[in-house]
Amino acid sequence: MPRVIAGSLGNCVHVAGVMNFLAMAERAGYQTEFIGAAVPVADFVAAIRKHDPELVGVSFRLTPEVAGRLLEDLRERVERAGLGDRKFAFAGTPPVCAIAEKLGWFERCFTGLEPPEDTWAYLKGEPPAQKPDDFGATQLARLEKKKPYPLLRHHFGLPSLEDTIAGVRDIAEARAVDVISIGPDQNAQESFFRPEEMDRRPRLSTTPGEPFPFAGTTRSTAAPSALRRTPSPRISRRCSGMASAAHPSR
């Protein structure tokens, strides 16, 4: 059984994400060991020597400049001790991850904007989903792809069709949910199966939701993850808490 150890480095006391990461690793078949919060560099090296893990998780969520000095010190001590022959993964805020990535030492850096299934894929030694086929074209196929996580659905609608389409695209590119059901306004809902009865007069914007010019047809759309290129910063910021809950960044 492969072994993983993880903890927060230096003066960083954020460990909720570390614990979530280790819980996920245990489900993925690892033997896990939490080495603590605010672990001094020397103690981190000692823990690597003691447990001899295949994977080491390092977390730091404070000042990037401090992170750079600590990580340089950790790498030098690890190499001097002959303990560099294993995988190292890092997690922190995006600015701290940028520092860690420049070291060229970590196999993977997690910023907190990734969905948890990316972390799961990493622990299983699989590439993260990128192509449309990786997500599944039906709900059952998508559920199979997302194991062990459930599908998330969101009801969404804005006052205009154009804004609704743009919002769906933002949500899809952020990989925030799996299924989006369109939320029509009250006028459309009341006449959904009898579109001829809809009040076609200009709306007074007193009810939320999409006015649904296509009312009368059943319309539910899977979030088009094939649209994903770079996550939308606006949506990603809103969803970062959900996305980061399962890796050692907090």
Write out pLDDT tens, residues 161-184.
Answer: 888 899 999 988 888 788 888 887
Whole-number pLDDT of residue 112: 84
Do 29 and 83 lie in a common domain?
Answer: yes
Q: Is residue 193 part of a domain?
A: yes
Whole-number pLDDT of residue 221: 38
Q: Three-state SS string across 22-91, please? A: HHHHHHCCCEEEEEEEEECHHHHHHHHHHHCCCEEEEECCCCHHHHHHHHHHHHHHHHHCCCCCCEEEEE
Range of the structural domain that residue 55 is part of: 3-123
Is 14's pLDDT higher than 70? yes
Do 100 and 33 lie in a common domain?
Answer: yes
pLDDT tens across 209-229, in order? 555 544 333 333 333 333 333
For residue 178, give the nearest of 131, 126, 218, 135 by alpha carbon. 135
The more confidently predicted of residues 53 and 184 is 53
Do 158 and 195 lie in a common domain?
Answer: yes
Confidence of residue 208 (pLDDT cuts 50, 70, 90): low
Q: Is residue 133 part of a domain?
A: no
Do 28 and 119 lie in a common domain?
Answer: yes
pLDDT tens across 180-205, in order? 888 877 777 788 788 788 777 765 44
Q: Is residue 241 part of a domain?
A: no
Do 114 and 156 lie in a common domain?
Answer: no
Q: Is residue 14 part of a domain?
A: yes
What is the rounded CA–CA span in Å between residue 132 and residue 219? Answer: 21
Residue 183 and residue 210 in contact, taking contact as beta carbons nearer than 8 Å: yes
The more confidently predicted of residues 159 and 82 is 82
What is the rounded CA–CA span in Å between residue 219 and residue 161? Answer: 13
Whole-number pLDDT of residue 159: 79
**The model's pTM:** 0.65
Q: In angstroms, how far is CA 156 from the centroid of its own chain? A: 21
Q: Is residue 32 part of a domain?
A: yes
Do 107 and 156 lie in a common domain?
Answer: no
Instruction: Give the tokens for residue 82.
Output: 């002959």
Q: Is residue 248 part of a domain?
A: no
For the chain, the average pLDDT equals 80
- What is the total count of domains within the chain? 2
Q: Is residue 138 part of a domain?
A: no
Whole-number pLDDT of residue 144: 83
What is the rounded CA–CA span in Å between residue 195 and residue 35? Answer: 62
The more confidently predicted of residues 25 and 233 is 25
- Across residues 32-54, what is the average pLDDT? 97
Is 243's pLDDT higher than 50? no
Percentage of the chain exceeding pLDDT 70: 80
Distances (CA, A) of 139 to 225, 226, 228: 13, 15, 18
Sole residue written with tokens 């940028």:
98
Sole residue written with tokens 């520092």:
99
Q: Is residue 62 part of a domain?
A: yes
The CATH number of residue 64's host domain is: 3.40.50.280
pLDDT tens across 97-142, in order? 999 999 999 999 999 888 888 898 899 998 877 777 777 888 888 8
Do 14 and 63 lie in a common domain?
Answer: yes
Confidence of residue 238 (pLDDT cuts 50, 70, 90): very low
Do 36 and 102 lie in a common domain?
Answer: yes
Whole-number pLDDT of residue 245: 34
pLDDT tens across 145-161, in order? 787 788 888 888 887 88
Do 34 and 113 lie in a common domain?
Answer: yes
Do 19 and 101 lie in a common domain?
Answer: yes
Do 167 and 72 lie in a common domain?
Answer: no
Do 117 and 158 lie in a common domain?
Answer: no
